[in-house]
Structure 1
Amino acid sequence: MSKELGNRISILLKKQGLQQKELAERVGITEGVMSRYRSGTRDPKPETLACIATALHTTSDYLLGIENDEFSYPRVRRLIARNASAMSDEEKKELINALFGGE
């Protein structure tokens, strides 16, 4: 069981001002199951891990401790690809402006 996963979920929850219950609802699992993931007594299935990563705007590799650099190019690319369909047009415009320096 992965304590690293639980620690990283906890850190991201705090950074984003989310509660465990909110994350569980976004992922489609119970709060009790999320609690077990955070405590390291249970590991999520790969598809659940991907949903947790998406809900926390990160990658599965980061949550598992495989990737430590929060701002690496490959990570940012995966985040954009994973989250683009859920972004509003305004968020997409802001992202393009941030990436290309547009006003």
Structure 2
Amino acid sequence: MGKELGVRISEQLKARGMQQKELAERIGLTEATLSRYISGDRDPKPEVIANMATALHTTSDYLLGIEHDDFDYPRIRRMIARNASAMSDQDKKDLINALFGGE
């Protein structure tokens, strides 16, 4: 896995305005452990990758470099379904606006 995973985690953290400490707390890791995953010093277990993906509103495949940013309707649908319960009302409104161009 190595550096590719770390780069993708860092990109997702930045895109969401989230700090490593916040992600670590959300998924039940220490910040030091998460830092080792990001630096490529350690490889996380599959369930940790899945938890990171959920917390970052992305997929494990994306974090692992298996899938890319290209639009993929089934992937987007799975991601929304998996994260809907954690979305705030504002997140849902923003998503609807992004999908349908509303105000």
CA shift digits 1:10-57 (9 cap, x unpaired): 111112211111111111100011001101111111111111001111
- Unaligned 5+ residue runs, structure 2? none
**Aligned equivalents of 2:48, 2:64: Cα separation in 1:** 13
TM-score by length of 1: 0.83
Task: Give the deviation of 1:75 after TM superposition.
Answer: 2.0
Amino acid at match of 1:17: G
Does the 8 Å contact 1:62/1:70 carry over to 2? no
Quick one: percent identity of the two aligned structures?
Answer: 75
Equivalence for 1:77 = 77
TM-score when normalising by structure 2: 0.83
Give 1:22's aligned residue: 22
For residue 85 of structure 1, give the secondary structure of its aligned residue in structure 2. helix
Are positions 1:31 and 2:67 aligned together?
Answer: no
Larger mean CA deviation between 49-58 and 11-20 belongs to 11-20
- Corresponding pairs, count: 103
Listed as ranges, the gaps of 5+ residues in structure 1 are none
